[in-house]
Structures are given as structure tokens and as C-alpha cells.
């Protein structure tokens, strides 16, 4: 295996096929993401976009093709799951915080249990991250005491605590009230500006246009069209893309 | 102090003389008093041993049920079906009289032959397996109530399966399980009376010997048995409730 270098894509998806039983969800998807890039995947419901990003941290397995994250081959039968998950952070639509732990404990758990880091240092890091997501006064609140937007920001901080190279966002604002969507998007934008590699599945077109370096449109398990936001939104060629964009813009 | 005790003893002695059906014999006769106290103590020991063992069986069984090994899963399933669908009293007799014959014996003095598992031992084993079968199902229901997505979140943070279980799934599952567990443990404490059937000297056993010897003590002794169980189960429920509220998560559930 050749070593991964900064010139190679940090996430490389080649001709990926994915089945759920007989149902084929991904039909040969290829996509490269360079370090520091922000990529948005858009498309109608059921087009396979969430499935695709779940494959990137091996929450879903694939039946064909290859996925590499920083040189780690996900189709390798001896895949070191821990090594992969240290590199890839994931934020979910439903936040999925641990309800029996306070906000700061949620952030501290993985570094302490998985990376076996020293508690005092982890606490310092967690405080810093809470400040970064603008929740420094909510350290000891339980998830049930926080709003959706606040929970989602804790979830982002929780993933960041593992200092991943890539962050995956799976429709992270879809379950939020319209008022709180913005605070989460601002947090993600800060991250993107700090140079974090981000792959987002999103329905927030305005946001995608603003932060994305590249936009992919998926439909029925294939990538129909892609390009930088400047051309993607104004000069879409495929009729399916045009129809989708006309419906939501 | 001594005087008060004497006064109380005298009171009950006179009460028995005046009202022959209300002979609280264990309030004034040391031998019967000893029987009652040792019976209560045995009931408490039996209950605590069974509570602990049945919960261990429950957690291990629920964990085994989540295993990928089909054989292990079907063994647990068979165990649950057997112990849940047959009467605990029959199980107790089966363990003591049937299985008891095959256990090795030892001799403390060269003459006597003692089985290595006493009747108290069999009672603890049998009742724990009985209550344990229910506990497996109770814990399994609790584990299944933890959303798949919460598990995925901990996996995507790099937790191993064991860590996910220990730090995320079990703490949440236990909270869901507590009300049902509470019920089952209450039943278990009451079911310990069935150890009477294999001559375990617990409270009911001792009480029956008392009212067989002194029919005049029948009503008071039955009353005593009721009161002791109300208090014991009351204490159990109280501590379970305290446990439940100590684990309540702010802003989660009711």
C-alpha cells in the first residue's frame, strides 16, 4: 500500500455499490475529497446520500468498490476500526447524545475511554470545545435540558474531541426548529473556515452555496451532476438536477 | 430495660390466659422467640442471596441473548422457557430431590454422609434460576429500548462493543428495566416461602412448627408472618424506589 500524502484525496470513494437485501441503494458512486475541502451532497429523499456518508465511517458496509480514508482501506478484511474512527467524526440528524451524561461528560467520554487520555487534559480540551460551540455555560446540563440546536452543537463538540481529520454531517439540521438551524450552521461554518474537511448531507441550499467547495447531486443511487456552487446552481445541465433545484430554490 | 421486657412478656402471658386464641407465645417464651428470629434471619439471607444471584443471571443472560452465537442464544431461550413456564415449587422439588441425588457427598465425621449442596443451597439455586429467567427478559427489553442510533453514535466515536455496552447501553437499559425488575424482585422475596417444601428453616417453616406445637398460637403467628413480609417487601420497594430516583436523568423521561 502506498502511503497517503497531502496531495492525495483524504476521502476517496471509487465505484461504490451498496445493497440492503435486494434493494440497490448505491449504484457505482465515485467521489474524491481533498484535505480541507467542504463537500455538500444534496438530492431527493431515498437517493442514497445518507447511506453514502454512513459508509465513509463503516457504519454501513459496502458490497462493491472501494473507500479509502487517509489511505485506510475500508474494504480491507483486517480493517482497524478504531484507527478509522479516530480519523472520522460523525454528527447525526437526531444528535444521539448519551442522555445519562452531562454535556461535558458526553465530550470527555471518548477521549478518556478510547484514547485513554488523562482526565484533566481531556477536561481542559472539552471546556475549550464547549467554548468553541458557544455553550460554555451549559457544561453540566444534561442533553434533556438542552434545546435541539444546543444538543447538536454538543454533538459536534463531542466528535471534535477525538480530533478527527474528516467530519461527516448527516442532515444535522433536519430535526431542528428553524430558529436554531442557524446556530448549528454557524458552528459548522466556523469549522470549515478553520480548515476542517467536511462532508455534509444537507437540504440547506443557501448554506451549501455559501460554504461548499463542491456540490454533488445524487438521485437513485448515482451521482447525477457535480460542480462548484458558482456553476452548479446556475448552470445545471441534467434535467433531474434542474427539476430538483426548481422545486427547492 | 429488663423490667420493660418482663412487663411485655407478662402482658402477653396474661393475654393468652384470658383469650386462648391469641397466644403470642414467641413474645414470652425464649425457645419460640428464637425460632421466629432465626426464621426471619433465614428468610432475609435467602432473599438477599437470591436477589443478587438472579440479577447476575439476568445481566449475563441478556448479554448472551445479544450474542451472534446461535447455540448460546438457544440455550438461553430454552432456559427461559423452562423456568418461566413451570411452577417454581415443582422446580424446587426437582432440584432438591432429583438433582440432589447426583451431587457428590462428603463426610464430616466418617459416619455421616452430607451432600455438598444443602437444602438451603438448593433453594438459593432454584429460586435464583426461576427469578433469573424473568430478569433476563426484563433486561433484554431494557437493552432493546436503547435506540440503535445511540449505539451507532458510540461506535462512531470509536467505542468497542464492550465499551458501548458498559458505558452506554447498560446504564440506559437499567433505567428502563427498573420498574419491571422491582416487581419481579418483590415476587422473588415472597416466593422464598416455598423453600418450606424442602425444609429450609425460613420464617414460614418456623411458624408452622410453632402453631403445630401450640395451636393456640395459630392466629398470632400467621399475623406475624404477614407483618414480617409486609415490612421486608416494603423495605425492598423503598430501596428500589430510592435507587430509581437516584438514577433519574434531568430532562429525560418523566
ipTM of the complex: 0.88
Tell me which of A242 and B38 has the higher pLDDT: B38
Q: What is the pLDDT of residues B207-237, one digit of tens each?
A: 999 999 999 999 999 999 999 999 999 999 9
Task: Confirm if B40 and B211 have CB atoms less than 8 A apart.
Answer: no
Who has greater pLDDT, B61 or B116?
B61
Residue A39 φ/ψ, nearest 5 degrees: -120, 130
Statement: residue B12 has pLDDT above 90: yes
The reported pLDDT for the residue numbered B112 is 81
* pLDDT category of residue A4 using cuts at 50, 70 and 90: confident
3-class secondary-structure state, position A65: strand
C-alpha span between A31 and A53 (Å, rounded): 11
Environment class of A189 (CB within 10 Å of its CB; exposed 0-12, middle 13-18, buried 19+) = middle
Of A88, A90, A142, the CB nearest to B252: A142
- CATH fold of B32-138+179-245 reads MetI-like fold (1.10.3720)
Separation CA A57–CA A86 (nearest Å): 10
Lowest-confidence pick of A46-60, A140-154, B106-120, B235-249: B106-120
Nearest to B156 among A90, A94, A97 (CB): A90
- Over range B111-140, report the average pLDDT: 92
Sheet of strand A11-20, all strands in order from the earlier edge strand to the far edge = A23-33, A11-20, A64-69, A72-73
Q: Where are the domains of chain B?
A: 32-138+179-245
What confidence category does residue B188 fall into, taking pLDDT thresholds of 50, 70 and 90? very high
CB atoms B152 and A89 under 8 Å:
no
Cβ contact, residue pair B155, A98, below 8 Å: no
Q: How confident is the model at residue A153 (pLDDT cuts 50, 70, 90)?
A: very high
Of A82, A110, A145, the CB nearest to B251: A145
Distance, in Å, from the CA atom of B221 to the CA atom of B223, rounded to the nearest integer, reads 5
Instruction: Report the chain B residue with the minimal C-alpha distance to residue A84.
Output: B158
Q: How far is A157 from chain B (nearest CA, A)?
A: 12
Chain B partners of A115 at a C-beta cutoff of 8 Å?
158
Nearest to B250 among A82, A86, A142 (CB): A142
What does the pLDDT average to over B203-207?
97
For A86, which of B153, B158, B171 is closest by C-beta distance? B158
Q: Do A162 and B158 touch (CB under 8 A)?
A: yes
Please tell me what DSSP assigns to residue A177. -
B243 vs B66, higher pLDDT:
B243
In the predicted structure, residue A5 carries a pLDDT above the cut 50:
yes
Going by pLDDT thresholds of 50, 70 and 90, the confidence category of residue B254 is very low
**Mean pLDDT across B82-106:** 91
Q: Is the pTM of this model over 0.95?
A: no
pLDDT over 70 percentage in chain B: 99
**Contact state of B251 with A100 under an 8 Å Cβ cutoff:** no
Distance from C-alpha of A244 to C-alpha of A161, rounded to nearest angstrom: 37
Q: Which pLDDT score is estimated for B224? A: 97
Give pLDDT, residue A1: 53
Q: Give the model's pLDDT for residue A160.
A: 95
Residues in chain B with CB shorter than 8 Å from the CB of A81 are: 158
Confidence class for position A45, pLDDT limits 50, 70, 90 = confident
Residue to mutate among A96, A106, A146, with most B CBs inside 10 A, is A96
Question: Mutation test of the interface with chain A: which of B142, B146, B157, choosing the one with the most A Cβ atoms within 10 A?
Answer: B157
Which of B103 and B131 is assigned the larger pLDDT? Answer: B131
Residue A66 has pLDDT above 90, yes or no: yes
* Model confidence band, residue A46 (pLDDT cutoffs 50, 70, 90): confident
Residue that has been written with the C-alpha cell 386464641 in this structure = B21
Number of Cβ pairs < 8 A linking chain A and chain B: 74
pLDDT number for residue B13: 93
Q: What is the pLDDT of residue A3?
A: 79
Contact list, A146 vs chain B (CB under 8 Å)? 251
CB contact under 8 A, B149 and A94: yes
CB contact under 8 A, B152 and A92: yes
B70: exposed, middle or buried (Cβ count in 10 Å: 0-12, 13-18, 19+): exposed
CB contact under 8 A, B154 and A144: no
Higher pLDDT, B107 or B196: B196
Q: How close does chain B come to A96, measured CA to CA in Å? A: 5
Amino acid A61: pLDDT: 92
pLDDT in tens, B57-82: 999 999 899 888 999 999 999 999 99
Measured between beta carbons, the chain A residues lying within 8 angstroms of B158 are 81-82, 85-86, 110, 114-115, 162
Please give the pLDDT value at position B4: 87
A97 neighbourhood in chain B, CB within 8 Å: 153
> What domains lie within chain A, and their CATH numbers?
11-248 (3.40.50.300)
Q: Determine whether the interchain pair B158/A99 forms a contact, defined as Cβ–Cβ distance below 8 Å.
A: no
pLDDT tens per residue, range A81-134? 999 999 999 999 999 999 999 999 999 999 999 999 999 999 999 999 999 999
Residue scoring higher pLDDT (B212 or B117)? B212
**Does the pLDDT of residue B253 top 70, yes or no?**
no
Mean pLDDT (chain A, rounded): 92
- State whether A144 and B250 contact (CB < 8 Å): yes
Amino acid at each position: 500500500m502506498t502511503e497517503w500524502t497531502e496531495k492525495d484525496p483524504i476521502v476517496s470513494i471509487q465505484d461504490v455499490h451498496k445493497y440492503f437485501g435486494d434493494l440497490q441503494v448505491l449504484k457505482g458512486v465515485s467521489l474524491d475529497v481533498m484535505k480541507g475541502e467542504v463537500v455538500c451532497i444534496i438530492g431527493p429523499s431515498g437517493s442514497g446520500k445518507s447511506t453514502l456518508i454512513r459508509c465513509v465511517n463503516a457504519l454501513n458496509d459496502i458490497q462493491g468498490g472501494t473507500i479509502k480514508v487517509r489511505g485506510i482501506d475500508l474494504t480491507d478484511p483486517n480493517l482497524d476500526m478504531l484507527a478509522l474512527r479516530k480519523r472520522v467524526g460523525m454528527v447525526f440528524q437526531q444528535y444521539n447524545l448519551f442522555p445519562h451524561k452531562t454535556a461535558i461528560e458526553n465530550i470527555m467520554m471518548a477521549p478518556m475511554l478510547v484514547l485513554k487520555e488523562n482526565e484533566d487534559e481531556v477536561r481542559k480540551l472539552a471546556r475549550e470545545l464547549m467554548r468553541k460551540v458557544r455553550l460554555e455555560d451549559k457544561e453540566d446540563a444534561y442533553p434533556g435540558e438542552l434545546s435541539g440546536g444546543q444538543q447538536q452543537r454538543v454533538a459536534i463538540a463531542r466528535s471534535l474531541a477525538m480530533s478527527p481529520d474528516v467530519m461527516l454531517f448527516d442532515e444535522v439540521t433536519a430535526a431542528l426548529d428553524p430558529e436554531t438551524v442557524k446556530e448549528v450552521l454557524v458552528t459548522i461554518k466556523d469549522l470549515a473556515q478553520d480548515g476542517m474537511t467536511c462532508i455534509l448531507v444537507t437540504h440547506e441550499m443557501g448554506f451549501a452555496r455559501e460554504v461548499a467547495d463542491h456540490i454533488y447531486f445524487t438521485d437513485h443511487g448515482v451521482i447525477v451532476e457535480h460542480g462548484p456552487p458558482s456553476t452548479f446552481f446556475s448552470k445545471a445541465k441534467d434535467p433531474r438536477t434542474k427539476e430538483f433545484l426548481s422545486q427547492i430554490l | 430495660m429488663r423490667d420493660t421486657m418482663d412487663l411485655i412478656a407478662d402482658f402477653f402471658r396474661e393475654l393468652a390466659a384470658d383469650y386462648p386464641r391469641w397466644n403470642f407465645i414467641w413474645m414470652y417464651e425464649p425457645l419460640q422467640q428464637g425460632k421466629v428470629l432465626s426464621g426471619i434471619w433465614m428468610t432475609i439471607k435467602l432473599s438477599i442471596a437470591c436477589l443478587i444471584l438472579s440479577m447476575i443471571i439476568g445481566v449475563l443472560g441478556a448479554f448472551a441473548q445479544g450474542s451472534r452465537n446461535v447455540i448460546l442464544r438457544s440455550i438461553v431461550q430454552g432456559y427461559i422457557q423452562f423456568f418461566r413456564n413451570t411452577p417454581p415449587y415443582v422446580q424446587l422439588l426437582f432440584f432438591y430431590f432429583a438433582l440432589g441425588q447426583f451431587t457428590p457427598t462428603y463426610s464430616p465425621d466418617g459416619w455421616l454422609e452430607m451432600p455438598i449442596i444443602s437444602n438451603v443451597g438448593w433453594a438459593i439455586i432454584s429460586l435464583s434460576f426461576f427469578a433469573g429467567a424473568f430478569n433476563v427478559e426484563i433486561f433484554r427489553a431494557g437493552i432493546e429500548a436503547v435506540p440503535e442510533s445511540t449505539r451507532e453514535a458510540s461506535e462512531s466515536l470509536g467505542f468497542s462493543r464492550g465499551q458501548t455496552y458498559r458505558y452506554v447501553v447498560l446504564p440506559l437499559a437499567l433505567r428502563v428495566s427498573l420498574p419491571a425488575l422491582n416487581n419481579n424482585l418483590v415476587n422473588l422475596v415472597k416466593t422464598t416461602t416455598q423453600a418450606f417444601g424442602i425444609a429450609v428453616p425460613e420464617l414460614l417453616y418456623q411458624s408452622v412448627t410453632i402453631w403445630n406445637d401450640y395451636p393456640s398460637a395459630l392466629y398470632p403467628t400467621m399475623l406475624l408472618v404477614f407483618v414480617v413480609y409486609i415490612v421486608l417487601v416494603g423495605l425492598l420497594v423503598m430501596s428500589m424506589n430510592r435507587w430509581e430516583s437516584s438514577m433519574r436523568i434531568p430532562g429525560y423521561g418523566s
